[in-house]
Structure 1
Amino acid sequence: MNRNRIVALAVGLLLTGTLLYHYGSRGQAEAVLPAEAAPRLNMAAPSFQLTALDGATYQVGGPREKPLLLNFWASWCSPCEEEAPALASLYDKYKDKLDLYAVNLTENDDFDQVKAFTNRFKFHFPVLLDYKLEAAKKYRFQVIPTSFLIDTNGNIVDVINLLTPEELEKKLQKLIGI
């Protein structure tokens, strides 16, 4: 009888672990989809269109006037919070030469917390709301924050996770040709 309970418990734990692995949890910055399906460097950035906190609609994909830093994040993500001041500062410094879209994983976030986060860090750039994770599924990253640097031809030239502000600025300078 004890042996049957132990086996049943082990099977239950294995099943629970498998489900948690596949579906993740809100508090983890895990992948939306596997990395092997991610877009590649020097290839066209996947296209999408989303509405932002300001009510405007923004589009990614194809040629653009300025290079783009496309940042995926969530308000509950500690590394996103760590990165936020540098994003705000660098955007304010380079906004004439660079676009920055912060794509919030809204399906897995709380809208009021999203607004509070963007206000606290004084985001002056568009904050796009990915309610159905449509954009996130196209970019197929492993963790957040993840940023994609996209050139004026609409191609992905770099993929960034968390960097120091100095390292991020060097990459942005390279992207905009400084």
Structure 2
Amino acid sequence: MNKLVLAMLVTVGVGYAVWQQPQQSATVVADVQKPEVGYLAPHFTLTGLDNQVYKVEGKRTKPVILNFWASWCGPCRMEAPDLQKLHEKYKSQVDFYGVNVTNNDSPEAAAAFVQAYKLSFPIPMDVAGTVSNRYLIQAFPTTYLVDKEGVVRKKIIGMIDAATLELELRKLINE
């Protein structure tokens, strides 16, 4: 009997926790930049490995995927090929930015990682760590899906499998 009661309590607790999770919302908190679902993505400008300037600052012509990573991160290595494949498939519909958290890495290691995985999407370099601090990055990888209005629609901490990320990308494109 105790096991049944415990199982019921766990089920209720998990259900409540899931219900409490922030849901994707059409409501946007106007003019508030915060790295959370329903808020404007914090604005930034970074120079990439290719010496081009990349910006996130509100409305855009395409949604953007922000993937924060470091070259020494095992899960980042595991998901890099999937990100590259999704970039190749959706690059006309979604911008992919692989933000290297360079203050926890090195430009040389980042460049070697990009070459090893043949990444063709932009790699903005967060040399000072200011962007990763604004996005409250505590684990690698962390991925944000940001819509054309500049609103965070999904925050993914840790590695995500390609099929799930593709489903989320399709939702983002079709909003």
| Equivalent residue, structure 1, for 2:97 | 101
Return the offset for 1:107: 1.2
Match of 1:56 among 52, 57, 67: 52
- The TM-score, its normalising length taken from structure 1, stands at 0.76
Q: Distance in 2 between matches of 1:97 and 1:109?
A: 30
* 2:86 is equivalent to residue 90 of structure 1: yes
- Which of 167, 172, 175 is matched with 2:169 structurally? 172
Residue 110 of structure 1 deviates from its aligned partner by: 2.1
**Per-residue Cα deviation, 1:119-161 (whole angstroms, up to 9, x for no partner):** 1111111001101001101100331100000000000000013
1:7-33 per-residue CA deviation (whole Å, 9 max, x = no partner) reads xxxxxxxxxxxxxxxxxxxxxxxxxxx
Give the corresponding residue for 2:133. Answer: 137
Q: State whether residues 47 and 53 of structure 2, in contact with CA within 8 Å, keep that contact through their aligned partners in structure 1.
A: yes
Counterpart residue number, 1:163: 160
* Superposition TM-score, scaled by structure 2 size: 0.78
Matches of 1:71 and 1:78, distance apart in 2? 14
How many Å apart are 1:113 and its aligned residue? Answer: 1.4
**Count of aligned positions:** 141
* DSSP-derived class of the 2:124 partner: strand
Shift of 1:100: 0.5
What is the distance in 2 between the residues matched to 1:176 and 1:122?
25
CA distance in 2, matches of 1:115, 1:81: 13
For 2:168, the aligned partner's letter is: K
1:152 aligns with 2:148: yes
Q: Who wins on radius of gyration, i.e. which is larger?
A: 1
2:36 to 31, 37, 40: 40
- On the 8 A contact 2:66/2:98 being kept in 1, the answer is yes
**Counterparts of 2:92 and 2:117, CA distance in 1:** 20
1: distance between equivalents of 2:140 and 2:92?
26
Question: Is 81-90 or 105-114 further displaced after alignment?
Answer: 105-114
Q: Cα distance, 1:116 vs. partner?
A: 1.0
Structure 1 unaligned residues grouped into runs of 5+: 1-37
The aligned counterpart of 1:116 is: 112
CA shift for structure 1 position 108: 1.5
In structure 1, the partner of 2:64 is: 68
Q: Could you tell me how far apart the structure 2 residues matched to 1:39 and 1:114 are?
A: 24
RMSD (Å), alpha carbons: 1.2
**Counterpart secondary structure, 2:134:** helix
Any runs of at least 4 consecutive aligned residues in structure 1 with deviations exceeding 6 A, and if so which?
A: none
- Give the counterpart letter for 2:134 in structure 1: K
